[in-house]
A and B are shown apart, each in its own frame.
Chain A
């Protein structure tokens, strides 16, 4: 059946903003407010698509390409990561490296688009984003390498399909370390606290938000949707590791994975509510710690 093969990316596109909404709702509830309805991100996307865009005179085609490439790479990444027991449509040996590269390509174009505006604020955000990427990339890639070694395969779908209760019983410490490392990478790559505050209004404290300051209308919608899809993709990777439900029935596994995603959204909301943003000087230390956890897991798997 080819229909279930397209479910993971379709789910990402459709439910990504929903995950963003769950996080926002959790944060609001923790702060004592009711919070926006779960359909709010969708309404925002529809609103933005209906608007027109204004482009600055200093920008070139890079500025228009940034959001488009960002969304496209996010969609390709969603097509690489399996969800629950459902294999990804683009699965081949070595696809974990493609995942890392595709995400990096999206980030690269976002940085270029920010630099293209010629404004110093976007440039500052771009440089911060690029320097943080230096630290998240090793953590992510080493975690994926450890996972590959554990599963004995270079394909993400096969790897995550093999992480069932038996794998957890045999290599619990290594898998726990990987989950911790990937959680930190998840928070860092998606611009969540304690690395970056998505709701900050102070430009000097922004990292991700400041890069997209000049985008408007459909471009901003694509940026937001792409970010939501990336959030979902990373979450699917994390949940695939952390929720070892592999009954063999794809729908049961998918349901369990959905539950895991909701739990992840709530967890992210809780983490964001309880921690303050780290000083920019200390963020590399945190990410280095995540890389150390990945290396530790790798050591444990290798011996």
Chain B
């Protein structure tokens, strides 16, 4: 069992739970940044001996973007929107933690169901990746603030990226950087959208943006 890899994976798991239980938005942004940096290290720890150079480049790029650029962008948006906390999510914080435990169990079960063609680097990798993805989905669905939904999207991307970093060794570096660039632009565009939402609505509660509907006109 690869000890540093396991420690990083447990760290990613813990950041997922921190996100589910935390209501302060600034600490959520920092937690997602930490998760992004842990993922960078995951790439390095999971790389094969001869692909370390490529993995190092990706680690530096993703750490720089996810660990520094994203939090900077999102904290600026947060300050512009003058919001501090997520108030009254659809599923309470304690319940979210319990949901997280359920999701973890589900991920562990799914991890055993998908047969791996060759021996894995760590039995924790697939469950942790699936768990992070599902936590992202839970955040998007149960939280009201638009910023938390963006964080949920980032967490989902992190989970998918963890999956790719650990399992698929041969994505060309250009594709990986392209994906990173896309996520960067996506966060940038979403940040601008939240800025406009705050200006238009005076809040960033997506639950209260419900003017477009079909039958009750």
State the A residues within 8 Å of B (CB): 169, 172-173, 177, 284-285, 288-289, 292-293, 295-296, 299-300, 303
A300–B100 Cα distance when bound, in Å, is 15
* Chain B 7-21 residues near chain A, CB threshold 8 A: 7, 10, 13-14, 17, 21
5 chain-A/chain-B pairs, Cβ below 8 angstroms: A285-B93, A292-B100, A295-B101, A296-B10, A296-B14
Q: Which residues of B contact A299 (CB under 8 A)?
A: 104-105, 108
Q: How far is the CB of B190 from chain A (nearest CB, A)?
A: 28
Check A303/B108 contact, CB under 8 A, given A172-B3, A172-B7.
yes
Name the B residues within 8 Å of A300 (CB-CB). Answer: 10, 124
Task: Give the nearest-CB partner of B20 in chain A.
Answer: A292
**When the two chains form their complex, are residues B10 and A173 in contact, meaning their CB atoms are under 8 A apart?**
yes
Q: Which residue of A lies closest to B93 (CB)?
A: A285
The 8 residue pairs across chains A and B that have the minimum distance between CB atoms: A173-B10, A288-B97, A288-B94, A292-B97, A292-B17, A295-B101, A173-B7, A285-B93
Instruction: Say if the beta carbon of B205 comes within 8 Å of chain A.
Output: no
Asked whether B123 is an interface residue with its Cβ less than 8 Å from the other chain, the reply is: yes
B6 on the interface (CB 8 Å rule)?
Answer: yes
**Complex-state Cα separation, A52 to B147, whole angstroms:** 62
Q: Assuming A292-B97, A303-B124, what are 14 further A-B pairs, CB within 8 angstroms?
A: A172-B3, A285-B94, A288-B97, A289-B17, A289-B97, A292-B100, A293-B14, A295-B101, A296-B10, A296-B13, A296-B17, A296-B104, A300-B10, A303-B123
- Residues of A close to B101: CB separation below 8 A: 292, 295
Per the bound structure, the CA–CA distance linking A159 and B100 in Å amounts to 29
Distance in angstroms from B59 CB to nearest chain A CB is 21
A-B contact count (CB 8 A): 40
**Least distance between B27 CB and chain A CB atoms (Å):** 13
Q: Which residue of A lies closest to B10 (CB)?
A: A173
- B98 surroundings in chain A (CB, below 8 A): 288
Q: How far is the CA of A285 from the CA of B97 in the complex (A)?
A: 9
Asked if A285 and B10 sit within 8 Å, CB to CB, the answer is: no
Number of interface residues of B (CB under 8 A): 19
* Nearest opposing residue in chain B for A289, CB measure: B21
Report which B residues bind A (CB closer than 8 A): 3, 6-7, 10, 13-14, 17, 21, 93-94, 97-98, 100-101, 104-105, 108, 123-124
- Find chain A residues with CB under 8 A from B10 CB: 173, 177, 296, 300
CA distance A303 to B93 in the complex (A): 27
User: What separation, in Å, do the CA atoms of A134 and B108 have in the docked complex?
Assistant: 27
* Chain A residues, CB < 8 A from B21: 285, 288-289, 292
Q: Which residue of chain B has the shortest Cβ distance to A174 in the bound complex? A: B10
Task: Please give me the residue from chain B that is nearest to A169 by CB atom.
Answer: B3
In the bound assembly, the distance between CA atoms of A303 and B13 in angstroms comes to: 15
CB distance from B138 to the nearest CB of A (A): 14
Q: In the complex, what's the smallest C-beta–C-beta distance from A57 to chain B, in angstroms?
A: 42
Q: Do residues A284 and B94 form an inter-chain contact, with CB atoms below 8 A?
A: yes
* Chain B residues, CB < 8 A from A172: 3, 7
Residues of A within 8 A of B3 (CB): 169, 172
Give A166 Cβ to nearest chain B Cβ, in Å. 13
Q: Indicate which residue in A173, A289, A293, A296 contacts B6 across the interface (CB closer than 8 Å).
A: A173
Q: How far is the CB of B41 from chain A (nearest CB, A)?
A: 15
Determine the distance from Cα of A296 to Cα of B195 in the docked complex, in whole angstroms: 38
Residues from chain A with a CB closer than 8 A to the CB of B13 are 296
* B38: min CB distance to chain A, Å: 13
Q: Tell me the minimal C-beta distance from A167 to chain B in angstroms.
A: 13
Shortest CB distance A279–B (Å): 12
* Distance, CA A35 to CA B187, complexed state (A): 53
Q: Which residues of B contact A173 (CB under 8 A)?
A: 6-7, 10
What's the minimum C-beta distance from B22 to chain A, rounded to whole angstroms? 9
Residues of A within 8 A of B14 (CB): 293, 296
CB-CB under 8 A from B93, the residues of chain A are 285
A288 contacts across to B, CB distance below 8 A = 21, 94, 97-98
Bound-state Cα–Cα, A48 to B7, Å: 50
Q: Which of A285, A292, A299 has the most CB of B within 10 A?
A: A292
- A295–B10 Cα distance when bound, in Å, is 13
CA separation between A110 and B105, bound complex, in Å? Answer: 37
- When distances are taken between beta carbons in the complex, the residues of chain A under 8 Å from B105 are 299
Bound: A261/B10 CA distance, A: 28
* Measured CA separation A295–B7 after assembly (Å): 16
Please indicate the chain B residues that have their CB under 8 angstroms from the CB of A177 in the complex: 10
Max chain B CB contacts within 10 Å: which of A172, A284, A293, A295? Answer: A295
